[in-house]
């Protein structure tokens, strides 16, 4: 099934000049960039984006990290895009990330882990319109 998923190149990876590096993983896997922009989230916006984690002990630190500098937000489209993007990203903790994944290449630690990807159709349907109106997705 052709799906759309929301991905974010996080502030640590943007700082490392790794925007092109991350995009290459997705494009080399045959996935398409359907929308893309660089933005700087406020603390409040980062909290709203990650609202599902509001009870987690790392919630405030996560929102602070996600708003420390610009990010690149992407809509990725392709066959089984939600699961495939998660696979290409690698495990949340780079210590567990398989070789050849984005996080194995660029993540620093479990928080500063280079990329985000929607984890389900339900998440994607919240996260894509959070950043992109339909007319900006191609
Ligand atoms: P993402 O949602 O960003 O794609 P994920 O689905 O792999 O990552 P989640 O469990 O949803 O992981 O956590 C969201 C983000 O919160 C992680 O990507 C990471 O930046 C941060 N995070 C997760 N667990 C921890 C932790 N134990 N300590 C600090 N930060 C964490
Ligand atoms: Mg997640």
Task: Look up residue 10 and give its two tokens.
Answer: 């996080």
* pTM of the predicted structure, to 2 decimals: 0.98
Tell me how far CA of residue 3 lies from CA of 42, 66, 103, in angstroms.
Answer: 28, 25, 22
Residue 78 Cβ < 6 Å to ligand 1: no
Which pLDDT belongs to residue 134? 97
From first CA to last CA, the distance across the chain in angstroms is 17
The answer to whether residue 138 is catalytic is no
Q: Please give the average per-residue pLDDT across 65-76, as a whole number.
A: 98
Q: Answer yes or no: is the C-beta of 45 below 6 A from any ligand 1 atom.
A: no
Q: Which two tokens stand for residue 101?
A: 């994944």
Nearest ligand to residue 12 Cα: 1
pLDDT tier, 133 (very low <50, low <70, confident <90, very high otherwise): very high
What does the alpha-carbon distance between residue 102 and residue 120 come to, in Å, rounded to a whole number? 19
- Can you give the pLDDT at residue 116? 98
Q: What is the pLDDT of residues 4-49, one digit of tens each?
A: 999 999 999 999 999 999 999 999 999 999 999 999 999 999 999 9
Rounded to the nearest angstrom, the distance between the alpha carbon of 17 and the centre of ligand 2 is 23
């Amino acid at each position: 099934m052709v799906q759309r998923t929301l991905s974010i190149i996080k502030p640590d990876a943007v700082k490392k000049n790794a925007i092109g590096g991350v995009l290459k993983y997705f494009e080399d896997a045959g996935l398409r960039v359907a929308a893309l922009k660089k933005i700087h989230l406020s603390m409040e916006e980062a909290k709203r984006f990650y609202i599902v984690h509001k009870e987690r002990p790392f919630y405030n630190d996560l929102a602070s990290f996600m708003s420390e500098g610009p990010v690149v937000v992407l809509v990725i489209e392709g066959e089984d895009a939600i699961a495939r993007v998660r696979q290409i990203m690698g495990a949340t903790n780079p210590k567990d990330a398989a070789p050849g994944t984005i996080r194995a290449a660029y993540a620093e630690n479990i928080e500063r882990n280079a990329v985000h990807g929607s984890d389900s159709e339900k998440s994607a349907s919240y996260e894509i319109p959070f950043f992109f109106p339909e007319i900006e997705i191609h």
